[in-house]
Structure 1
Amino acid sequence: MRSSLALRMFVYFVIVIVISSSIVGLVLYVQSTKEVDKQTNELLTQIVDNAMNHTDMYLKKYDRATVSMMTSTNVKEFLNLDSNNFIPYFLSIRPMKEKVLQPLFINNPEISMVYLLGYNGLSIYDHNADTSDFSNSLLLDKLDSLKEITDKDGKLTIMDWSFLDGKLALTRKISDRQTSKIFKGILGIELNIEELTSLWKGIRLGETGYFYIVNDTGKIIYHPMSGMIGKQLDIKLFTKLRENQNQIFDYKDDVERVHFNRRSDYTGLTLVASMPLDELRAPALNIRKTTVYTCAIALIIALILAYRFGQSIIRPIKMLENGMRKTEKGNWTHVAISGRTDEMDRLTISYNMMVSRLQELMEQVYAEELKNKEYLLKRQSAEFQALQLQINPHFLYNTLETIVCYAVVQDSQEIKEIVRSLSYMLRYSVRADLEEITLANELKHVLHFMNIMNYRLGHEFEIEVTVPPELLLKKMVRLTLQPLIENVFKHAFPDGIESHHQIRIDARMEEDDFIVTVTDNGVGITPERLEELQTKMAEQHESTSQLPVRIEREGGIGLANVHSRIQIVFGEQYGLSISNNETATGAQLTLRMPSQREERSCAPVVVAI
């Protein structure tokens, strides 16, 4: 499956955006949650502290009020009355109410009832509520219970029950002297329970949060639900309250709630703030939702922008890719630019310029190549045919004259051999194709040439051939060896052929080249003439069509013919080279051709032609 750059780029964008958004959102949520929890804890602590301070201040007011009652002479006299003498008791009731109890009601209208219960068995009470079923006998019945509940040191005590329903009862032990620890009675005040609620009215603990007060035994002193007052707090909850003094903790009953408690040093009571955990966690949850929604929206927007950004890069690249594919198929296609004049447009413009230039160059190359191929084929065909057909007519004329002479003089076998050799040579020479023949064929052609030459010379002349048998089947060009032999007879022996004259044909391998040499012991070539011939042979590739003509005028058609045909067939690195012998007189003509195949090595064979 081919990988898509657009898909990879989009995936990379998504990964980067998701990771960065997740990290930012997570860090923001964690830090915000910590800060919210910290502020919530501080706020809850402050709320409970404020509520406790308000409660203590509220109770201290009644503490001071009860202390002022203890300094009253009417109270002291009442506590010291004889329970068996009812006349002083009845006489003290009116002054007690007018001078002690009534002023307390006036200064504190929230008081529902005030009572004084002496250890002497006498009691007095007054109230602002409708309590038709209340009597002194009820007070006396609770005397022993009040003695046990009320603080033994004479401190103000908050009761976990009251004589009147739904009231908050405060009691303290009193004596006839302010500094005396010998107590002679109990002073009790019962308040409207709503008074504590009004103290905490400005303090919000959520929709369902509330305060409640418990004593050291776990009894509920105050609760917003009046039915809970006086009941024992759940033992597990009370244990956690004692273990987590001044700390926030979770407790799950029907609903998981958060509790924070503070014990008053003044009253010894524990004020507990309770609110649902969901409400306490609401700010953190809101932050989390906000963070999630914000990150999701930002992610969607970022993905859309990433997609559009990726497409703005990929679209021009795809257009360039499609253009390149069409160009590969030979359809030169220009890519349209977007008009934004950015890097992609500049790249597209450069690509279009490159395509235009390549198209022009390719058209020029194709045209030149077609022109060159056509010219080369015509030129090679014409040159080869011309070179192939350039056979020295003088040899044929002389041969024919010889045949005529022999025919006139006598009817002899010589005429038959000369005509047969001439027939073979003509048949071998007139072929004009590029067929590669073997060295053995060329040697056979040289043999027929020598049959005729021996008759022309008037005596036998043998050519020494030292060619290894494995090289006889090596390929070479037709009519390249016999012209060299003819050139030797023409130029090497200008004074005639003597018995000491010789011609030798050799063949060998040099690396990957096949070498055939023709050497003689004639007069050789002058240095000036040799340098001239070598220079002209080296310039063969510059003007192949004119070289044979120049060499014909200056040194014979045979050499130029051979050299040109070898280069046409095998290439310009091959051909004919001319030099003088280094160790003897005479010249050496060397044919260099490529080797076609490896042959098994054998000892050289010496034959005479």
Structure 2
Amino acid sequence: MARRGRWRLAGFSLKAQLILSFMAVTLLVLAISSYYSYTKTLALFRNKTQETTMAQFRQIELNTLTLLREVDKLSNTFLLETKVQAFLQNAKPTNLEFIGLERDITERIIQYLTNYDYLDSIYIFGDNGSVIGGTLAQNQSTNTLGKQYPFYGTPLYAKAKASFPQPIWQGGMTTIDFMRSAIPVGLTNAHLISSLRGIRWIGGSRMNAILVFNVNERYFQSSYGSLQSSPDGSLTIVDGAGTIISSTLTDTIGEAYRFNGDIAADRRFGSFSSSRGGTPEQVIYYRMADTGWLFVNEVPTAHFTRDVVAIQRFIAAVFLLSLLLIVIFSSLWMNRIMKSLQLLVKGMKHVGRGKIGLTLEQASNKEIGQLIAQFNSMSTGILELMQQNEEAEKQKRQLEMEALQAQINPHFLFNTLNTVKWMAAVADAPNIMACMTSLGSMLRPIYYDPSPMWSIREEIEWVKHYVNIMNYRYGDEIRFEIDVPDRLLSCRTLRFMIQPSVENAIIHGESRKGLIRLSAEEAGGDLTIVVFDTCGGMAPEKVEELNAKFRLTDAGEQTSKGIGLYNVHKRIRLHYGEQYGIRVQSTEHADTSVIMRIPNIPGAAANQPA
């Protein structure tokens, strides 16, 4: 077996063996470093995701506690109302007394429900069976039913009495659970989160009634729905008993949470893997310290793996690029090492053919240099011939180098940009990397895509790269905002139509800092694209001069601030017709808007001139 291995290696040149050995060692090191970088990147990604999720949960907790405290404050204020105290103090009001108190208290309840639209209803369930309260649409007050009123027989009423004087919060209830009559046609039986507390009049010592403030669950949902990580996931609030009291999946409210058994009771924050409807997902939970409620965020696993796949592709691209660079640089380096040896072999062949007197250059390598010195001592008779041969070889290499230098093309340019980017990565200069990436992304469509049209999405990406480069130039002073509806991103527009307006705002504005906002809207079959900036406006006469030149067929000489816009205006009119073009609005020393109107053309039809 050993002889067979030696025979196989003997079939390769020394140069090939050195290159293969060098590549094998280098690839091993590169593979280990790539794996380490990948694992570290994943760890950083997981930590970042966990920190982001924790921040979202804390924001939800803050929003929720703020709402709970506000409702608690309102209930305390309501309790101190004079008429409410009178109602609590009168244990057995006559019908006439009840009617007067009910009118005044109901009037205050209506004011509360009107002023605080998150409140669904307010009730006072007296211990004597008198009830005052209801919703904005229906008053449920009664002094005749006594404790036959349905709510008195519920476990929730008993729970509220038992917790006196401490308030409790209860979810999973609906509007009808607190009413004595059916909900009128056209009104919604809303999900509620209820604040219940046993109350007494100020001078008393025992409980006189249960005060109920019902909060519409959709306002809880609005306080956390915007923080949902993925549109395909869900956010849910589960109370201490494991019942869903609020959720973006409204059909599940009031049900027992399906993953109660998977959540550790002694942990405040954690996560685990599960699935819903056959879709794998990651369940992340957070427990509120004040109420014991759980915030649960169910995120489809694809939301995480999408970024992981991107990392994998990036590492693979880096590995392949590194492999290519290893082959190139190892070949160049081995050529340098093997050059002297190859010259010696070549000289020996010449001597074998009768060309005695051949002299070789002294090698930098010590061992090969000694061989060449011995060879030259035997061939001094033909030194002049050797010098002529070396000169010819040198001229040949020079011509080859000049020929290579004359072949600079876009591939060389992009390879150079990539080389600078990776050099910046090695030097830990992320700003240079990002700048080179943006520059490459701007140059690529110029060299490789001759078509005059592309989508608004592509135009926005191109402008983003330009703004990134200008921010590196001027120090991140420019804020670039985009307000373009998703449905318009696929619409077609002229290539490089928007960038001159952005460039004018940055280069020719009074200040190279401020806001640049790109917006688009559709009206009457046309698109209106606006570039608004706060980098300083123009004088009214300058604006009028600029718009007048746009209206002329031949604008003559243009100022530096107008020529780019005029060229865009001219391109728009040539491509789409005389009814389209550019106009400018500006407030001096404040802001400028460049308004471009083009037809709304989806798809490849945009390549056909109007």
TM-score (norm 1): 0.51
Alignment of 1:333-352 (within 5 A): 334=358, 350=373
Partner residue in 2 for 1:191: 215
Query: 2:283 aligns to what?
Result: 259
Q: Secondary structure at the match of 2:172?
A: coil
Tell me how far apart the structure 2 counterparts of residues 192 and 40 of structure 1 sit (CA, whole Å). Answer: 31
1:211–1:271 Cα contact (<8 Å) kept: yes
Question: Partner of 2:379: helix, strand, or coil?
Answer: helix
How far apart in 2 are the matches of 1:196 and 1:292? 45
Q: Deviations over 1:438-457 (max 9, x none)?
A: xxxxxxxxxxxxxxxxxxxx
| Counterpart selection for 2:173 from 161, 165, 182 | 161
Matches within 5 A, 1:197-596: 197-200=221-224, 203-234=227-258, 237-243=259-265, 245-254=267-276, 255-280=279-304, 282-314=306-338, 317-325=341-349, 327-328=351-352, 332=356, 334=358, 350=373, 353-354=376-377, 356-357=379-380
* Counterparts of 2:266 and 2:315, CA distance in 1: 33
Q: 1:37 to 1:333 in 2, by over 3 A?
A: farther
CA radius of gyration, larger in: 1
CA RMSD of aligned residues (A): 3.8
SS across alignment from 1:109: coil
Q: Is the 8 A contact 1:113 1:190 kept in 2?
A: yes
* Pair 1:355–1:140, CA change in 2 (3 A): farther
Deviation at 1:232, TM superposition (A): 0.9
Q: Secondary structure at the match of 2:214?
A: strand
TM-aligned CA deviation for residue 53 of structure 1: 2.3
Aligned twin of 1:42 = 51
Relative to structure 1, is the Cα distance of residues 105 and 131 closer, same or farther in structure 2, using a 3 angstrom cutoff? Answer: closer
What corresponds to 1:121 in structure 2? 129
| CA shift in 2, pair 1:180/1:158, >3 Å | farther
Q: Cα distance 1:166–1:332, how it changes in 2: closer, same or farther (>3 A)?
A: farther
1:160 is paired with a residue of what secondary structure?
A: strand
Deviation at residue 115 of structure 1 after TM alignment? 2.3
Structure 1 segments, 4+ long, off by >6 Å, are 134-139, 340-349
Structure 2 counterpart of 1:435: none
CA displacement at 1:220 relative to structure 2? 0.5
| Counterpart in the other structure of 1:15 | 24
The question of whether the paired residues in 2 share the 8 Å contact of 1:155 and 1:172 is answered with yes
The answer to whether 1:88 aligns with 2:75 is no
**Residues 323-345 of structure 1: CA deviation (Å, up to 9, x unaligned):** 435645766595888xx997699
2:246 corresponds to which letter in structure 1?
Answer: Y
The answer to whether the 8 A contact 1:29-1:287 is kept is: yes
Q: 1:45 to 1:275 in 2, by over 3 A?
A: same
Q: Structure 2 counterpart of 1:353, which letter?
A: N
> Against the structure 1 CA distance between its residues 148 and 19, is the aligned structure 2 distance closer, same or farther, given a 3 Å change threshold?
farther
Q: Which residue of 2 aligns with 1:428?
A: none
Task: Choose the corresponding residue for 2:120, options 100, 112, 121.
Answer: 112
Distance in 1 between residues matched to 2:320 and 2:48, nearest whole Å: 27
Task: Output the CA distance in 2 between the equivalents of 1:266 and 1:302.
Answer: 60
**Could you say what secondary structure the match of 1:268 adopts?**
coil
- Contact kept? 1:75, 1:176, Cα under 8 Å: no
The one of 154, 163, 167 equivalent to 1:152 is: 163
* One-letter amino acid matched to 2:111: P
Partner of 1:562: none
Change (3 A) 1:103 1:174: farther
The alpha-carbon distance between structure 1 residues 303 and 174, as it changes in their structure 2 partners (threshold 3 A), is same
CA contact (8 A) 2:242 2:257 kept: yes
CA distance in 2, matches of 1:202, 1:14: 52
Measured after TM superposition, the shift of residue 322 of structure 1 is 4.5
Aligned to 2:42: 33
Deviations 1:11-62 (A, max 9, x none): 1221232122223222222223223322332332232123212211210110
Distance 1:355 1:204, change over 3 A: farther
Residue 305 to residue 265, structure 1, CA distance change in 2 (3 Å): closer
Residue 376 of structure 2 aligns with an amino acid whose one-letter code is M
| Unaligned 5+ runs, structure 2 | 1-6, 177-188, 384-610
- The 3-state SS of whatever aligns with 2:124 is strand
Is contact 2:192-2:217 (8 Å) kept?
yes
What CA distance in whole angstroms lies between the structure 2 residues aligned with 1:281 and 1:181? 61
* Contact persistence 1:320–1:335 (CA under 8 A): no
Secondary structure of the equivalent of 1:60?
helix
Partner of 1:550: none
Give the number of equivalent residue pairs: 353
Return the offset for 1:5: 1.2
**Change beyond 3 A, Cα 1:199–1:83:** same
Q: 1:347 to 1:207 in 2, by over 3 A?
A: farther
Mean alpha-carbon deviation: is it higher for 325-334 or for 272-281?
325-334
CA–CA distance in structure 1, aligned partners of residues 33 and 302 of structure 2: 25
Query: Aligned with 1:161: secondary structure?
Result: strand
Q: Distance in 2 between matches of 1:322 and 1:149?
A: 102
Quick one: which amino acid aligns to residue 22 of structure 1? A
8 A Cα contact 1:173 1:183, kept in partner: no
Shift of the alpha carbon at 1:247? Answer: 2.7
Alignment of 1:54-93 (within 5 A): 54-79=63-88, 85-93=94-102
CA contact (8 A) 1:117 1:140 kept: no
Contact 1:114 1:190 in 2 (8 A): yes
Closer/same/farther in 2, CA of residues 54 and 291 from structure 1, 3 Å limit? same
CA shift for structure 1 position 85: 4.3
Partners of 2:342 and 2:28 lie apart in 1 by 29
Instruction: Determine the structure 2 residue equivalent to 1:522.
Output: none
| TM-score using structure 2 length | 0.50
Give the deviation of 1:207 after TM superposition: 4.0
Aligned counterparts of 2:357 and 2:308: Cα–Cα separation in 1: 61
Match of 1:5 among 14, 20, 26: 14
Check the 8 A contact 2:175/2:192 in 1, yes or no.
no
* Corresponding residue SS for 1:300: helix
In structure 1, distance between residues paired with 2:203 and 2:313: 64
The structure 2 residue matched to 1:176, chosen from 186, 200, 203, is 200
Higher RCO, 1 vs 2 (CA within 8 Å, ≥6 residues apart) = 1
Partner of 1:392: none
Aligned-partner SS, 2:335: helix
Counterpart residue type for residue 89 of structure 1: F
